């Protein structure tokens, strides 16, 4: 899933893309995040092990400071040196291709799943086979799988995660006597009751193109199962399959219970309508907790999307995207880089990060959860209760398919006109998949 990008960061990113419309080659050569501090640092140390460099897209103040703390404590506990190079989030993600082909930092922040596999397959990232035996035991099997590429080698150190769940406010639900629905039908009945009580049952937003993928994912996982969903994402199944149509039919029925004007609304605004009591529920990643304060998060409850009455309910699948660290293809200081990766695989570093950013939880088994907020405990419980974890459509599929010119647009097409001829619509999606190189 695309990391939520604030307007400020988007504006900063635009500075980097203005005026490149006619010169993709030139753009590719210069779009990579700057390396100056990294290279000069490398050259200045001789004799001892040269410091490693960490390229980070954690550019918002709080995560940025937390990341600096992680780097500092790595240096304090190992005596090795590392430099953090933070780049504006949108620029980092937009320029990643050129960055990895240029002179990237030894270690860089990235995502598990297919977004990692894409670079692993092109030889733009280094495998973690040396350190994997000592760190893999610290992660669940699902996280290990998400960190492994098509060649069977691990490429990502899982760092933190969050679940996609139905969020709601405890105080509002208590006042109206709402109870957690145990089945899909109960969820619909509850939503209808909320509607008569004057609530918007489901807050909803898809102006940014990617949030609706969460809804698609969970409906597909519940109706058609984990294997089919991943098959669809990777091209083993086709979009013209009748089972995909079932997903959109079910979604079509649910849409009247969703907030109007989703295509003009950001997830931040939708989260606000949940927080201010206008909406009764919001199916979203728990990063939505960023839109309120600690007291507000304390009032937030969550439950996994309920079973839909199919054979796949038992899989208890859930989108829980994993963010982590990767090794670049030719690190300048490989030993120190690997020491850093081993360090961030441990509970100490992960606890430090999720304490600063309480809308995420750690993945390391030895992370200290005693300092978790109530919200974080609920997130951990939600993920703990899931059977199969998926990464989110745009991390499970190929990036050119799920980008703004692909599935983001197609899902918006559906939301703009849910009553359209779905067979023709799915045919267009498949034609787009087939047209990709």
Nearer to another protein, 52 or 109 (CB): 109
Least Å distance, CB 81 to another protein, is 29
Least Å distance, CB 238 to another protein, is 16
Segment 112 to 151, residues that bind another protein, using CB under 8 A: 115, 118-119, 122, 124
Per-residue x/- marks for another protein, 94-113, CB under 8 A?
xxxxx--x------------
Distance CA 399, CA 111 (A): 12
Per CB under 8 A, which region of 145-153, 239-247, 315-323, 427-435 contacts another protein? 427-435
- Cβ–Cβ < 8 Å for 426, 245: yes
Distance CA 347, CA 332 (A): 26
Segment 300 to 339, residues that bind another protein, using CB under 8 A: none
Nearer to another protein, 133 or 437 (CB): 437
Least Å distance, CB 236 to another protein, is 19
Phi, psi torsion values for 108, nearest 5 degrees: -140, 150
Q: How many residues of this chain interact with another protein, rule: CB under 8 A? A: 60
| Dihedral over alpha carbons 10, 16, 21, 26 (to 10 degrees) | -150
Question: Binding another protein by CB under 8 A: which of 102, 127, 235, 403?
Answer: 403
Q: How far apart are the first and last CA of the chain?
A: 22
Distance CA 71, CA 83 (A): 8
Segment 275 to 294, residues that bind another protein, using CB under 8 A: 278
Least Å distance, CB 408 to another protein, is 6
- Cβ–Cβ < 8 Å for 161, 322: yes
- Cβ–Cβ < 8 Å for 76, 45: no
DSSP letter for 22, please.
T
DSSP letter for 103, please.
S
Residue with tokens 């850093």: 340
Per CB under 8 A, which region of 137-145, 243-251, 345-353, 429-437 contacts another protein? 429-437
Least Å distance, CB 434 to another protein, is 8
| Number of Cβ atoms within 10 Å of the Cβ of 400 | 13
Within 8 A by CB and 6+ apart from 217, the residues are 164, 229, 319, 390, 392, 393
* Residues forming beta bridges with residue 158, ordered by sequence position: 324
Least Å distance, CB 156 to another protein, is 14
Work out whether 385 is an interface residue with another protein (CB under 8 A). Answer: no
Least Å distance, CB 358 to another protein, is 25
The three-class DSSP label of residue 373 is coil
- Cβ–Cβ < 8 Å for 191, 201: yes
Least Å distance, CB 189 to another protein, is 19
Least Å distance, CB 320 to another protein, is 21
Full DSSP string of 251-276: HHHHGGGBPS-GGG--HHHHHHHHHT
Question: Binding another protein by CB under 8 A: which of 269, 298, 299, 348?
Answer: 269
Least Å distance, CB 20 to another protein, is 7
Question: Binding another protein by CB under 8 A: which of 64, 193, 207, 316?
Answer: 207
Segment 174 to 203, residues that bind another protein, using CB under 8 A: 200
Rg value, the chain, Cα: 22
| Positive or negative: CA dihedral 258, 263, 265, 268 | positive
Sequence length of the chain is 437
Q: Identify the CA nearest to 350 among candidates 162, 77, 82, 159.
A: 159
| Dihedral over alpha carbons 211, 213, 219, 225 (to 10 degrees) | -140
Per CB under 8 A, which region of 79-87, 172-180, 211-219, 259-267 contacts another protein? 259-267
Question: Binding another protein by CB under 8 A: which of 43, 62, 189, 431?
Answer: 431
Work out whether 21 is an interface residue with another protein (CB under 8 A). Answer: yes
Segment 24 to 53, residues that bind another protein, using CB under 8 A: 24-28
Work out whether 373 is an interface residue with another protein (CB under 8 A). Answer: no
Q: Identify the CA nearest to 87 among candidates 29, 14, 34.
A: 34
Phi, psi torsion values for 394, nearest 5 degrees: -80, 0
Work out whether 272 is an interface residue with another protein (CB under 8 A). Answer: yes
Work out whether 398 is an interface residue with another protein (CB under 8 A). Answer: yes
Work out whether 422 is an interface residue with another protein (CB under 8 A). Answer: no
Nearer to another protein, 14 or 45 (CB): 14
Residues of this chain that interact with another protein (CB under 8 A) are 7, 10-11, 14, 17-18, 20-28, 93-98, 101, 115, 118-119, 122, 124, 200, 207-209, 259-265, 269, 272-273, 278, 398-400, 403-405, 408-410, 412-413, 416, 428, 431-432, 435-437
């Amino acid at each position: 899933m695309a990391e939520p990008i604030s307007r400020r960061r988007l504006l900063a990113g635009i500075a980097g893309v203005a005026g490149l419309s006619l010169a993709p080659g030139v753009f590719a050569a210069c779009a990579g995040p700057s390396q100056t501090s990294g290279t000069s640092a490398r050259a200045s140390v001789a004799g001892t092990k040269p410091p490693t460099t960490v390229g980070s897209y954690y550019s918002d103040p709080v995560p940025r400071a937390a990341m600096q703390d992680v780097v500092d404590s790595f240096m304090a506990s190992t005596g090795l040196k590392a430099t953090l190079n933070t780049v504006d989030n949108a620029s980092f993600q937009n320029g990643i291709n050129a960055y990895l082909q240029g002179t990237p930092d030894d270690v860089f922040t990235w995502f598990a799943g297919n977004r990692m596999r894409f670079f692993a397959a092109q030889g733009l990232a280094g495998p973690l086979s040396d350190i994997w035996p000592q760190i893999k035991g610290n992660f669940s099997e699902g996280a290990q799988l998400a960190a492994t590429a098509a060649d069977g080698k691990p490429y990502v150190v899982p760092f933190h995660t969050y679940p996609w769940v139905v969020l709601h406010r405890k105080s509002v639900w208590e006042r109206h006597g709402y109870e957690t629905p145990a089945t899909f039908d109960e969820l619909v009945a509850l939503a209808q009751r909320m509607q008569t009580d004057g609530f918007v049952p489901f807050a909803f937003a898809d102006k940014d193109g990617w949030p609706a993928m969460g809804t698609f994912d969970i409906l597909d996982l519940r109706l058609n199962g984990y294997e089919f969903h991943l098959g669809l994402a990777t091209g083993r199944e086709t979009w013209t399959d009748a089972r995909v149509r079932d997903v959109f039919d079910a979604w079509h029925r649910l849409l009247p219970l969703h907030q109007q004007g989703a295509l003009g609304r950001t997830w931040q605004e939708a989260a606000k309508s949940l927080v201010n009591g206008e909406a009764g529920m919001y199916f979203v990643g728990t990063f939505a907790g960023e839109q309120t304060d600690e007291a507000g998060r304390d009032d937030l409850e969550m439950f996994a999307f309920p079973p839909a009455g199919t054979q796949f309910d038992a899989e208890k699948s859930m989108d829980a995207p994993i963010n982590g660290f990767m090794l670049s293809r030719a690190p300048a200081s490989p030993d120190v880089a690997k020491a850093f990766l081993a360090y961030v695989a441990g509970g100490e570093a992960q606890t430090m990060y999720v304490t600063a950013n309480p809308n995420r939880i750690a993945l390391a088994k030895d992370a200290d959860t005693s300092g978790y907020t109530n919200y974080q405990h609920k997130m951990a419980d939600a993920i703990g209760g899931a059977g199969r974890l998926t990464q989110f459509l745009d991390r499970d599929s190929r990036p050119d398919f799920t980008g703004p010119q692909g599935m983001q647009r197609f899902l918006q097409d559906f939301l703009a006109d849910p009553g359209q001829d779905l067979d023709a619509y799915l045919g267009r999606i498949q034609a787009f998949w087939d047209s990709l190189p």
